Amino acid sequence: MAIGLTHYLVIGAILFSLGLYSVLTRRNAISILMGVELILNSSNINYVAFSHFSSGNVEGQVYAIFVIMLAAAEAAVGLAIVLAIFQIFHTIDVEAAETLKE
Amino acid sequence: MDIATALFYLVAIITVGSAAVVAFSRNIIYSAFSLMGTFAGVAGIYVFLGADFVAAVQLLIYVGGILVLILFAVMLTHRITDVEITNRAAGRIPALLAIGIFIFLLVQTIRETSWAKAKEILYAPTTARIGDLFLENYLLPFELASLVLLAALIGAVVLSRKELRE
């Protein structure tokens, strides 16, 4: 069986599910950010696979580059927030930062 | 099975396997380092898809930038000696059930949809065409991207500096 669009979409689906599992179960803020990175990578695989197999032009790759750029911005700001939380609460457990509830 | 197919499966196994370590490892250092395998494997998948520029950008930004940022954050927020309990997870079984159903539905959808097919599948250098698109059709998003990056830069600096209290 030749490698086709389906193979790439299945890899994207598996990566998305693993990222979703990380986001759902982790209590550590950095691990949650890692899960978000996995999800963004899986969406990028889909963009590039569709641009290669379905549309035949490179617009999908342009969108993939925009997603990579936003992932970089997200990682910078997200990790800065994690460091700020660590300075205040001395832990990065996401269940510890609940001062706003009270 | 020819050699390209075998290579594809090797890259796919590396990608999915290290992503599984990211999701299931109890030690956050292992998670952070196996994220490198995932990012490099995704770059390999881009190469298989004929997207040379995106593969290079993936290596530069994810492996060179985001991964280093994540490793810095791990090192700055954990005592490395008591690393065993650093990656707590809760609600594993409902989450496993949920993503099991989810992945089943996704794979069913992927298999049963008849996706559009391109007229011809090209393996040509893409950098020039991507550059043309950035400066013609996508000029406004391209300029907005630089603004977003500037805002993220300033935001990260403001958030992570130490406040001086009087």
Where exactly are the structural domains of chain A? Answer: 5-97
CB contact under 8 A, A14 and B19: yes
Output the pLDDT for position A101: 73
A12-62 pLDDT tens trace: 999 999 999 999 888 888 889 999 999 999 999 999 999 998 887 888 999
Burial label, B125 (beta-carbon count in 10 A; 0-12, 13-18, 19+) = exposed
CB-CB under 8 Å, B141 with A56: no
Mutate to test the interface with A, among B110, B119, B154 (most CBs of A within 10 A): B110
Q: What is the mean pLDDT of residues A9-13?
A: 93
Distance in Å, alpha carbon of A97 to nearest chain B alpha carbon: 15
Q: How far is CA B20 from CA A21, A60, A65, B32, in A?
A: 10, 27, 25, 12
Q: Specify the pLDDT at position B88.
A: 66
pLDDT at B84: 53
Dmax of chain B from CA atoms? 70
Report chain A's mean pLDDT, rounded to a whole number.
88
Q: Tell me what pLDDT residue B81 has.
A: 52
From the options 2.60.40.10, 1.20.120.1080, 1.20.120.1200, 3.40.50.300, give the CATH code of B1-81: 1.20.120.1200
* Residue in B76, B99, B141 nearest the CB of A21: B99
pLDDT over 90 (residue A99)? no
Count of alpha carbons within 13 angstroms of residue B125, beta-carbon side: 4
pLDDT at A69: 93
Residue in chain B closest to A35 (alpha carbons) equals: B23
Report the C-alpha dihedral over residues B28, B103, B7, A38, rounded to 10 degrees.
-40
In angstroms, the Cα distances linking B41 to A23, B17, B107 are 21, 10, 21
> What does the pLDDT read at residue B153?
92
Residue ranges in chain B whose pLDDT is less than 50: none
Q: What is the ipTM score, two decimals? A: 0.89
Name the residue facing B126 among A2, A58, A77 (closest C-beta): A58
Across the interface, which of A58, A71, A80 has its CB nearest the CB of B130? A58
Nearest to B28 among A31, A44, A45 (CB): A31
Q: How close A1 comes to chain B (CA, Å)? A: 9
What are the sequence ranges of the domains in chain B?
A: 1-81, 127-166
**Chain A residue numbers touching B116 (CB-CB < 8 A):** 54-55
In chain A, pLDDT over 90 holds for what percent of residues? 52
Q: What is the pLDDT of residue B85?
A: 54
Inter-chain residue contact B118 with A54, CB threshold 8 Å = yes
Right CATH for A5-97 from 3.40.50.360, 1.10.1060.10, 3.40.1280.30, 1.10.287.3510: 1.10.287.3510
